[in-house]
């Protein structure tokens, strides 16, 4: 698959989420914005002000004729923007500014940290030379027929219960980052009773069981360090569902530790299927998250939209080939600036 041709003139709208963990570093974001302007981009910015506002701003950018939307936020904000841009010719770019930044990690983008104080600027450098590819998005439909798209994962079960608990204390999440999940994870997991699940895959295969986790993946990386779906591609027209069944929390921890050490789930402990759709019910009903943000409760219907979003991805040696099944070959001739970017 070759990249989508980029417009001769890029008119980008930068969406800043001030609620993201690093979203208050406005001066650094403006420096990144200035760099994109120095590369010939026309850039304006706006701030998301409430949950779901990023989606509305992305749709507004489409209506106003922008051909690119850049999100300075975390996975939740990126997922909202993807929902607003899917089905259009407007490309989505990412400046990682959230807590987990899972998609950015999988794409190989620079992450904000004390060791990378100029991460926003370096992300802008990568975006300026990025390739534009069409990627898949997932769609979740709830019991009220409301639909929402996701770019990373749709999860239900233990992880959604943990996410719901963390979202009640956003200040701790901003302050401690991923560490804010540790205590809620332990507290929730120790008291979690796996429900009985009824899952229909691709309208034909029925799966039942007391699963701890039911995660539908569009990417490989999950929870920062776990490759729950090591064979997932973002452009192949499939989603990878992972079902984790355990007798107790201790066994669940052992399974997750195995995935962490061996970089892939054990075949006897985690059921992984490539699917185009799934209908998921649980007794009792369970919370559901999309890209790390709590959304609804089961039952849900999930399916894939093949290559329905344009995503900016690092180019050259930084191209995330593990996520793009048929990525174009690396160009033989590159500029000095591109060589610098690839060496970051």
pLDDT digits (tens, 9 = 90+) for 61-119: 999 999 999 999 999 999 999 999 999 999 999 999 987 899 999 999 999 887 777 89
pLDDT at position 171, please? 56
Q: What is the DSSP letter of 23?
A: T
Which of 79, 86, 65, 60 is closest to 17 using CA atoms? 79
Query: What proportions of the chain, in percent to the nearest 5, are helix, strand and coil?
Result: 30, 30, 35
The Cα 318–Cα 312 span in angstroms is 12
Which of 163, 149, 160 is closest to 92 using CA atoms? 149
Q: Is pLDDT above 60 for 177?
A: no
The Cα 327–Cα 48 span in angstroms is 33
Give me 101's structure tokens.
């930044």
The helix (H) or strand (E) run that includes residue 80 is: helix 75-85
For CATH 2.60.200.40, the residue range(s) in the chain are: 138-305
For CATH 3.40.50.10330, the residue range(s) in the chain are: 11-136+307-342
- Beta-bridge partner residues of 137: 305
138-305 maps to CATH 2.60.200.40: yes
Which of 166, 23, 167, 144 is closest to 95 using CA atoms? 23
Please state, for a pLDDT cut of 90, what percent of the chain lies above it.
Answer: 63
Name the burial class of residue 24, with classes exposed (0-12), middle (13-18) and buried (19+) by CB atoms within 10 angstroms of its CB. middle
| Span 145-174, average pLDDT | 81
- Beta-bridge partner residues of 133: 311
Is the preceding omega at residue 248 within 30 degrees of 0, hence cis?
Answer: no
Which residue reads 């998301």 in tokens? 48
Domain 11-136+307-342: CATH superfamily, name plus number: Probable inorganic polyphosphate/atp-NAD kinase; domain 1 (3.40.50.10330)
| Span 158-167, average pLDDT | 80
């Amino acid at each position: 698959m070759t990249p989508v041709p980029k417009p001769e003139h890029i008119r980008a709208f930068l969406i800043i989420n001030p609620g993201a963990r690093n979203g208050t570093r406005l001066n650094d974001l403006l420096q990144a914005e200035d760099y994109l302007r120095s590369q010939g981009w026309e850039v304006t910015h706006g701030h998301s002000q409430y949950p779901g506002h990023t989606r509305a701003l992305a749709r507004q950018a489409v209506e106003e004729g922008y051909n690119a939307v850049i999100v300075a936020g975390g996975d939740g904000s990126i997922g909202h923007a993807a929902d607003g841009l899917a089905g259009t010719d407007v490309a989505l770019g990412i400046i990682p500014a959230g807590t987990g930044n899972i998609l950015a990690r999988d794409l190989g983008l620079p992450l904000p940290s004390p060791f990378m104080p100029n991460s926003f600027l370096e992300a802008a450098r990568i975006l300026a030379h990025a390739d534009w590819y069409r990627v898949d998005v997932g769609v979740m439909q709830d019991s009220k027929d409301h639909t929402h798209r996701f770019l990373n994962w749709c999860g239900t079960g233990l992880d959604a219960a943990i996410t719901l608990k963390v979202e009640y204390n956003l200040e701790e999440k901003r302050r401690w980052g991923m560490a804010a999940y540790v205590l809620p994870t332990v507290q929730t997991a120790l008291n979690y009773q796996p429900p009985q699940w009824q899952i229909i895959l691709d309208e034909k295969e029925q799966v039942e069981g007391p699963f701890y986790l039911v995660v539908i993946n569009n990417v490989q990386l999950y929870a920062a360090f776990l490759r729950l779906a090591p064979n997932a591609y973002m452009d192949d027209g499939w989603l990878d569902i992972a079902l984790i069944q355990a007798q107790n929390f201790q066994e669940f921890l052992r399974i997750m530790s195995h995935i962490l050490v061996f970089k892939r789930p054990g075949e006897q402990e985690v059921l992984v299927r490539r699917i185009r759709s799934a209908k998921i019910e649980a007794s009792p009903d369970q919370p559901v998250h999309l890209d790390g943000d709590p959304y609804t409760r089961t039952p849900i219907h999930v399916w894939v939209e093949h290559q329905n979003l344009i995503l900016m991805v690092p180019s050259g040696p930084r191209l995330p080939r593990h996520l793009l099944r048929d990525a174009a070959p690396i160009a033989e001739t590159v500029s000095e600036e591109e060589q610098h970017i690839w060496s970051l």
